[in-house]
């Protein structure tokens, strides 16, 4: 199942993306090259307009690059999308209000044609994974924001794609909830060994979660630094007070500042 | 251009369908007329024709197709017949003539405008009362909402006759029906609008220690404008429908409703269509006029 | 004179009572919320009765509520016949056909952007027109019986329903549509799993507006010709005979039918769109 470690799961080579707007073309991505290996936890960080979300959407096949090459599982992104290669978590939970939590998680399974029994099995399994087992019959609007976002992660996990793409999934939550969800996300990643692409604008979040931090800068959107994290895979919350952590965070901040000054 | 083109295409296809339908709708009467004038038609007896389908008749008497577009009393007039009738009754006839659509249109429009003004005024007043008195809100509001589910138009004939019997005639009874129809949409929309300011905006005024009337003039009333205009559009369309329906039982054959009714009595389809088109243009102009006022007002208030 | 005075007194007493109830400590309870409008309605009926009797208002101007009620019950068979003709045959069949056709048309219009951009402005335009005016034409085409009434109703409800459904189908957010794309979902899966459920509040709005329009269309169309029964027929002939008690009895039927029709649709809405913010409990 798992591809050999040396062939990247996601591979971008000098990717360009230019949006045609009414007044002038906007270069959202310029010459972006990046390899992501199986089991990596990659964060994309940068100020708004740096193209981090755009890059994630390119990987998902929701945007089409105007230049360069991009492969996901060795396929073009659009093909990978149709092969259901990844689960995607948006900024907001985006659960359908007319479906229960369990019904929402079943949604992709129904579309992909799983049997009823299989659907129920999988719903139970991913609900347990995000610790929402008791809430399957509730409606989204009866749950807190943090619980809703956990349900949306469960929805992305339900069909067992090897890749999980997350676009600032915790951006709208308060810090205490966010810490808790970060911890849970790491535990989940350790258990499932998925490849995760994670967009954020929080430096501590990026450093705490990632094996690889991609620092991006705006106008035009590009990669200004890629930091391999030396932190161990096992990360308690208080690792954030360790000198290594603080050093990486410092390097990220330097990278962001450098990107800003020449913008 | 990309906006106009689809609309033009839809309108063009409506006219095409209309023209295409004319022969089938009119073929039976046309053939009867032609036969009477001595032309041979197939089949040649009226009873067989009655039982035949319109499609078969058109196919077997294709020579009669041009004549279907020029019937004196067609079941479905062709667009150009309606246009010609409109031209004659709107432009060529003197506006004082009983056969001028402008004359009849004005009769309907005056009742509409009078009723609309009364209904809107009363509606706004009631809405203000409802917003300021809890007792009024709880007593009246449920009925105002429930009354929208009732076919109020059905009582139009009664109001006309009752008012006639106490000696009120002419424009007033029709205006009352128009007022009645435009009243409820305005009440409901205006109440919503006057309640539109949120708690924070109301609290801000409280911190200024503003009085109730200051709160009304400086916050509630301006905030209600988008809602007011939305319900005015509904109200004016309803007022016009009210005036037209009110003219049905009046029997005087005056106004656009009267034209429709006499047309229906005498089988003058063209006359009904002209009145209908005229009423449609009138309704559209009234709604557009209010839309224009809305645009201007809201822009001046910075709400657009 | 005594009757007129007592009408006045009852009115003032009601207003005092309602003011106290509405500003009282239990004003927000369900019971009071129902009681206050009920008292108001009852007072109007009582005042109406007393004023008609006290001022000896002639029947041809305004019958007393008790008189209307008496007529209502004694003429029940006729009223039922009219109700069957106008509501069950004319309004209801037209409603089902018109709303059904508009729903299918909306899905088609939504599928093809060109159609949407062309038909929607036209639909919006037509929805504001006095469509009741097509009644004489349709009566001439479809005859005096209920079929022509159903046809008027079809024309009346079609465009409001179309415009509402199309607006509802546009209601999804970019994120919801992107989510469906990440699943590689096709047109039909997106339609049935996302866009139709999201459109439900709008669809029901169209259905609710159409209930009233259907009844209006069916009644007014009868003013242009009908068999010797039907609510519109009865209203126009009774007005001619100055039998206003019968007119009011028909109005009672129309009001009951109209609000019951609306109520049924609203109930269906509440059970389908329970998730919408306006319905959440």
State pLDDT tens for residues C22-44: 887 877 788 888 888 888 889 99
Instruction: Please tell me the predicted confidence (pLDDT) of residue C106.
Output: 92
Indicate the CATH number of C72-272 among 1.10.3720.10, 3.40.50.300, 3.40.710.10, 3.40.50.11060: 1.10.3720.10
Instruction: Tell me whether residue A140 is exposed, middle or buried, using C-beta atoms within 10 angstroms of its C-beta: 0 to 12, 13 to 18, 19 or more.
Output: buried
**CA dihedral (B116, B118, B120, B123) positive or negative:** negative
Contact A81 C200 (CB under 8 A): no
| Nearest in space to A49 (alpha carbons), one of A84, A69, A19 | A19
Contact C280 A83 (CB under 8 A): no
**Both tokens of residue B95?**
């506006």
Of A84, A96, A107, the CB nearest to C184: A84
- pLDDT tens per residue, range B178-198: 998 888 889 988 988 888 887
Question: Parallel, antiparallel, or unpaired: how do β-strands A67-72 and A222-228 relate?
Answer: unpaired
Of B137, B142, B248, the CB nearest to C223: B248
Contact C197 A98 (CB under 8 A): yes
Instruction: Please tell me the predicted confidence (pLDDT) of residue A3.
Output: 45
- pLDDT tens per residue, range B37-62: 877 777 777 787 777 788 888 888 88
Helix (H) or strand (E) holding A88: strand A86-89
Report DSSP state, residue A210: -
So where are chain B's domains? Answer: 4-76, 101-300
| Nearest in space to C232 (alpha carbons), one of C85, C50, C88 | C85
Contact C181 A81 (CB under 8 A): yes
Instruction: Report d(CA C257, CA C234) in Å as an integer.
Output: 16
The highest-level CATH class for domain A21-85+162-263 is alpha beta
**Both tokens of residue C239?**
């007005």
**Both tokens of residue A176?**
């205490």
| Nearest in space to A162 (alpha carbons), one of A56, A3, A44, A30 | A3
What number is the ipTM of this complex? 0.81
Of chain A, the end-to-end C-alpha distance in Å amounts to 43
Instruction: Report d(CA A247, CA A228) in Å as an integer.
Output: 12
B272 and chain C in contact, CB less than 8 A: yes
Helix (H) or strand (E) holding C16: helix C2-23
Contact C182 A62 (CB under 8 A): yes
Contact C178 A88 (CB under 8 A): yes
Orientation angle between helical segments B255-265 and B221-250, nearest 10 degrees: 40
A85, A87, A97: best mutation site toward chain C, by most C Cβ within 10 Å? A97
Instruction: Please tell me the predicted confidence (pLDDT) of residue B1.
Output: 56
Question: Parallel, antiparallel, or unpaired: how do β-strands A212-217 and A41-45 relate?
Answer: parallel
Contact B9 C262 (CB under 8 A): no
Q: Nearest-CA distance from C274 to chain A in Å? A: 8
In whole angstroms, what separates CA C205 from the centre of its chain? 11
Please state, for a pLDDT cut of 90, what percent of chain B lies above it. Answer: 14
With beta carbons under 8 A apart, name residues in chain B contacting C258.
149-151
Report, in angstroms and rounded to the nearest whole number, the Rg of chain B calculated over CA atoms.
26
Q: Nearest-CA distance from C199 to chain A in Å? A: 11
In whole angstroms, what separates CA C10 from the centre of its chain? 32
Instruction: Report d(CA A230, CA A251) in Å as an integer.
Output: 13
What's chain B look like in SS3?
CCCHHHHHHHHHHHHHHHHHHHHHHHHHHHHHHHHHCCCCCCCCCHHHHHHCCHHHHHHHCHHHHHHHCCCCCCCCCCHHHHHHHHHHHHHHCCCCCCCCHHHHHHHHHHHHHHHHHHHHHHHHHHHHHHHHCHHHHHHHHHHHHHHCCCCHHHHHHHHHHHHHHCCCCCHHHHHHHHHHHHHHHHHHHHHHHHCCCCHHHHHHHHHCCCCHHHHHHHHHHHHHHHHHHHHHHHHHHHHHHHHHHHHHHHCCCCHHHHHHHHHHHCCCHHHHHHHHHHHHHHHHHHHHHHHHHHHHHHHHCCCC
Confidence of residue A263 (pLDDT cuts 50, 70, 90): very low
| Nearest in space to A164 (alpha carbons), one of A89, A71, A68, A77 | A89
B6 and chain C in contact, CB less than 8 A: yes
Instruction: Please tell me the predicted confidence (pLDDT) of residue A1.
Output: 41
Instruction: Please tell me the predicted confidence (pLDDT) of residue B232.
Output: 92
Instruction: Report d(CA C132, CA C149) in Å as an integer.
Output: 11
How much is the average pLDDT of B76-86?
A: 89
Contact C41 B143 (CB under 8 A): yes
Contact C140 B75 (CB under 8 A): yes
Contact C37 B166 (CB under 8 A): no
Beta-carbon contacts of residue B230 (< 8 Å; ≥ 6 apart): B189
Nearest residue of C to residue B256 by CA position?
Answer: C133
Burial C201-234, CB ≥16 within 10 A → b, else e: bbbbbbbbbbbbbbbbbbbbbbbbbbeebbbbbb
- pLDDT tens per residue, range C140-196: 888 888 889 999 999 999 988 998 898 889 888 888 888 888 888 888 888 988 999
Report DSSP state, residue A75: B
B155 and chain C in contact, CB less than 8 A: yes
Contact A81 C184 (CB under 8 A): yes
So where are chain A's domains? Answer: 21-85+162-263, 97-160
- pLDDT tens per residue, range A19-53: 887 778 888 888 888 888 888 899 999 888 888 88
Q: If you average pLDDT over every residue of chain B, what do you get? A: 85
Nearest residue of C to residue A164 by CA position?
Answer: C182
Q: Is C19 helix (H, G, I), strand (E, B) or coil?
A: helix
Question: Token match 């604008």: residue?
Answer: A201
Instruction: Report d(CA A63, CA A54) in Å as an integer.
Output: 7
Give yes or no for residue C281 having a pLDDT over 60.
Answer: no
Beta-carbon contacts of residue A208 (< 8 Å; ≥ 6 apart): A182, A186, A235, A237, A239, A240, A245
Q: Nearest-CA distance from C195 to chain B in Å? A: 24
Q: Report the largest interatomic distance among the alpha carbons of chain A, rounded to a whole angstrom.
A: 56
How much is the average pLDDT of C97-109?
A: 93
Question: Token match 């916050």: residue?
Answer: B219
Q: CB–CB of A214/A43 below 8 Å? A: yes
Instruction: Please tell me the predicted confidence (pLDDT) of residue A2.
Output: 45
With beta carbons under 8 A apart, name residues in chain C contacting A110.
193
Q: CB–CB of B296/B229 below 8 Å? A: no
Q: In what order do the strands lie in the sheet with A67-72?
A: A25-36, A10-20, A67-72
Residue A33 has φ and ψ, to the nearest 5°, of -125, 130
Q: CB–CB of A126/A201 below 8 Å? A: no
Q: CB–CB of A20/A66 below 8 Å? A: no
Give yes or no for residue B90 having a pLDDT over 90.
Answer: no
Of C36, C133, C225, the CB nearest to B139: C36
Residue C277 has φ and ψ, to the nearest 5°, of -50, -35
Give yes or no for residue A243 having a pLDDT over 60.
Answer: yes
| Nearest in space to A182 (alpha carbons), one of A150, A158, A205, A207 | A205
With beta carbons under 8 A apart, name residues in chain C contacting B14.
122
Instruction: Report d(CA A229, CA A208) in Å as an integer.
Output: 9
Per this entry, what is the length of chain A?
263
Instruction: Report d(CA B80, CA B60) in Å as an integer.
Output: 25
Confidence of residue B304 (pLDDT cuts 50, 70, 90): low
Contact C200 A98 (CB under 8 A): yes
With beta carbons under 8 A apart, name residues in chain B contacting C256.
none
Quickly name the fold that domain B101-300 has. MetI-like fold (1.10.3720)
How much is the average pLDDT of B79-87?
A: 89
* Partner C, chain A 105-124, Cβ-Cβ below 8 Å: 107-108, 110-112
Of B162, B272, B283, the CB nearest to C128: B283
B276 and chain C in contact, CB less than 8 A: yes
**Both tokens of residue C180?**
């469906």
**Both tokens of residue B282?**
């009138």
Instruction: Report d(CA C208, CA C19) in Å as an integer.
Output: 32
Instruction: Report d(CA C70, CA C203) in Å as an integer.
Output: 40
pTM above 0.90, yes or no: no
Confidence of residue A260 (pLDDT cuts 50, 70, 90): low
List residues in chain C touching A: CB distance below 8 A.
173, 175-176, 178-185, 189, 193-194, 197-198, 200, 273, 275-277, 280
A203: left (phi over 0), alpha (psi -120 to 50) or beta: alpha
């Amino acid at each position: 199942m798992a591809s050999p470690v040396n062939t990247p799961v996601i591979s971008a080579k000098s990717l360009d993306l230019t949006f045609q707007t009414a007044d002038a073309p906007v270069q959202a991505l310029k010459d972006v090259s990046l390899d992501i290996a199986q089991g990596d936890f990659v964060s994309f960080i940068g100020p708004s307009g740096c193209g981090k979300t755009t890059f994630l959407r390119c990987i998902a096949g929701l945007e089409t690059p105007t230049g360069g090459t991009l492969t996901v599982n060795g396929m073009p992104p659009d093909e990978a999308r149709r092969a259901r290669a990844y689960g995607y978590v948006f900024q907001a939970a985006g659960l359908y209000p007319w479906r229960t939590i369990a019904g929402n998680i079943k949604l992709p399974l129904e579309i992909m044609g799983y049997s009823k029994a299989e659907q129920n099995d999988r719903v139970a399994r991913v609900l347990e994974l995000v610790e929402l087992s008791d809430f399957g019959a509730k409606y989204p609007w009866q749950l807190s924001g943090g619980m809703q976002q956990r349900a949306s992660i469960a929805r992305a996990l339900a069909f067992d794609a090897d890749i999980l793409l997350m676009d600032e999934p915790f951006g709208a939550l308060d810090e205490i909830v966010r810490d808790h969800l970060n911890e849970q996300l790491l535990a989940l990643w350790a258990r499932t060994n998925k490849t995760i692409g994670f967009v954020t604008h929080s430096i501590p979040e990026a450093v705490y979660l990632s094996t690889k931090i991609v620092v991006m800068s705006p106008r035009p959107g590009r990669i200004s630094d890629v930091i391999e994290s030396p932190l161990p895979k096992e990360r308690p919350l208080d690792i954030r007070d360790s000198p290594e952590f603080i050093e990486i965070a410092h390097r990220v901040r330097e990278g962001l500042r450098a990107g800003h000054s020449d913008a | 251009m990309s906006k106009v083109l689809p609309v033009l295409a839809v309108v063009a296809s409506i006219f095409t369908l209309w023209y295409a339908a004319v022969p089938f709708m009119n073929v039976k009467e046309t053939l009867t007329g032609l036969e009477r004038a001595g032309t041979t038609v197939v089949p040649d007896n009226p009873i067989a024709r009655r039982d035949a389908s319109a499609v078969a008749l058109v196919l077997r008497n294709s020579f009669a197709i041009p004549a279907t577009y020029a019937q004196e009393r067609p079941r479905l007039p062709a667009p150009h017949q309606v246009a010609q009738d409109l031209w004659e009754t709107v432009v060529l006839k003197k506006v004082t003539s009983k056969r001028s659509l402008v004359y009849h249109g004005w009769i309907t429009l005056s009742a509409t405008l009078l009723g609309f003004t009364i209904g809107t005024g009363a509606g706004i007043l009631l809405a203000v009362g409802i917003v300021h008195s809890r007792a009024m809100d709880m007593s009246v509001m449920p009925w105002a909402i429930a009354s929208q589910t009732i076919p109020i138009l059905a009582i139009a004939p009664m109001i006309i006759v009752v008012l006639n019997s106490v000696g009120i005639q002419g424009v007033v009874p029709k205006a009352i029906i128009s007022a009645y129809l435009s009243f409820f949409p305005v009440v409901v929309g205006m109440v919503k609008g006057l309640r539109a300011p949120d708690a924070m905006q109301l609290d801000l005024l409280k911190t200024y220690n503003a009085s109730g009337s200051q709160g009304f003039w400086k916050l509630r009333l301006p905030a209600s404008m988008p809602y007011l205009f939305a319900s005015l559009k509904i109200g004016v369309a309803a007022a016009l429908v009210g005036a037209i329906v009110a003219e049905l039982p009046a029997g005087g054959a005056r106004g656009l409703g009267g034209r429709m009714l006499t047309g229906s009595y005498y089988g003058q389809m063209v006359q009904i269509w002209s009145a209908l088109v005229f009423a449609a243009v009138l309704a559209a102009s009234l709604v557009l006029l209010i839309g224009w006022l809305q645009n201007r007002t809201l822009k001046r208030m910075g709400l657009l | 004179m005594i009757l007129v005075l007592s009408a006045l007194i009852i009115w003032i007493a009601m207003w005092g009572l309602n003011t106290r109830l509405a500003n009282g400590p239990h004003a927000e309870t369900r019971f009071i919320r129902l009681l206050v409008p009920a008292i108001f309605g009852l007072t109007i009926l009582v005042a109406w009765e007393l004023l008609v009797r006290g001022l000896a208002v002639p029947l041809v101007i305004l019958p007393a509520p008790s008189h209307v009620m008496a007529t209502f019950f004694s003429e029940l068979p006729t009223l039922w016949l009219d109700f069957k003709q106008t509501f069950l045959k004319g309004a209801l069949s037209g409603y089902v056909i018109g709303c059904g056709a508009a729903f299918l048309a909306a899905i088609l219009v939504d599928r093809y952007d060109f159609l949407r951009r062309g038909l929607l402005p036209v639909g919006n335009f037509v929805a504001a027109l006095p469509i009741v005016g097509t009644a004489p034409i349709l009566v001439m085409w479809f005859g005096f019986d209920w079929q022509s009434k159903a046809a008027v109703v079809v024309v009346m409800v079609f465009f409001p329903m179309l415009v509402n459904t199309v607006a509802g189908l546009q209601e999804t957010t970019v994120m919801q549509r992107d989510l469906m794309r990440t699943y590689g979902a096709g047109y039909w899966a997106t339609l049935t799993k996302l866009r139709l459920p999201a459109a439900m509040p709008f669809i029901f709005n169209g259905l609710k507006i159409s209930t009233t329009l259907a009844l209006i269309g069916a009644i007014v169309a009868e003013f242009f010709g009908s068999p010797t029964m039907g609510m519109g027929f009865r209203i126009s002939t009774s007005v001619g005979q100055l039998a206003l008690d019968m007119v009011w009895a028909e109005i009672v039927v129309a009001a009951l039918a109209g609000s019951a029709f609306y109520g049924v649709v609203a109930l269906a809405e509440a059970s389908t769109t329970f998730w919408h913010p306006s319905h959440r409990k």
